Amino acid sequence: MALEILPLRTGGAAENMALDFLLLQRYPRAATPRFRHYGWRGPAFTFGYAQKIAAVRLALPAGMTLDVCRRPTGGGIVDHRHDWTYTLVIPRGHPLEEVPATQSYRAVHAALAAALRAQGVPAQLQPAAEVAAASPASAANAGVCFQRAETHDVVRENDGTKIAGAAQKRNKRGLLFQGSIWRPAAGPAVDWEKFHDDFAAQLAAMLGTTAEPVPWPEFNEDEVNGLTEQYSAPEWLESR
């Protein structure tokens, strides 16, 4: 069964989060893994499901109009102004969905690092021992993505600069994997269109299948709009 590669879409923060969740919950071919890269309509930040809204507000840039949304996955605060964002959904029952979160995290990031190395970026996975040795000062910023690398994040070999991180959510439908690549850390020479194809091919190989471009699924528009409104509502943003 192929890894289905969805076309690029650009949306606001709440819309992007709603569509990611629907790719997990309502995809027409529920047993098929699917992947998408997407853009942002304006300056946007997302933050993890369990994060406190008060801490998030303190960490956001002051004096700017930002599109902010709580993600359905965990993780820290992600600045999407200069990132390359993607989502991977692994259906229930697939071997990758059944392994511990650390193993699925490592597998996806190993594929990502290989695609970056194909473009000359010296990318590797962050070893656990180096995370354990991180300074207290860096640990204080652990809630903000790209300020500190965690185990199996993608980093630059020469200086340990974090390039990519991600967050996961598992439920009865499968595994939702939301990832972000900080483009300035990857460097100016990356051909992002080629990277997209290389990353998709690496993911497909890791999953034991092939990558297959497919049209965007025909979701129920009322459900899309309703979930987008839910993710835009103060009750969702300020639930913690």
Calpha distance 95→15 (Å, rounded): 30
Helices marked H in 27-182 — which ranges? 53-59, 95-98, 101-117, 128-132, 136-139
- Candidates 69, 90, 108, 145; catalytic one: 145
Pairing between β-strand 9-11 and β-strand 34-40 as defined by DSSP bridges: parallel
Catalytic residue list contains 69: no
| Residue 140 identity | A
Calpha distance 196→234 (Å, rounded): 34
| Cα dist from 139 to 76, 143, 169, whole Å | 12, 9, 23
Pairing between β-strand 34-40 and β-strand 3-5 as defined by DSSP bridges: parallel
Catalytic residue numbers read 145
